[in-house]
Amino acid sequence: MIVVSNTSPIISLAAIGQLNLLQEIYSNIVIPQAVYNEIANVGTIDVASAAVQTLE
């Protein structure tokens, strides 16, 4: 199953250390460029930002 994610679930799951749940549930996760930019360019390094930048 393919899922397209917005910012809220990524930030929320990363904040509780469960971002890996997305990879366990869905075979293909699409993070639109605008969502990636919103998370990665928050100005500070937080859990979500670091996690998204290391996803493959």
Give the domain ranges of the chain.
2-53
39 with 7: CB under 8 angstroms? yes
Q: Would the pTM of this model clear 0.95, i.e. be above it?
A: no
User: Could you read off the pLDDT of 3-33 as tens digits, one per residue?
Assistant: 888 888 888 888 888 888 988 888 888 888 8
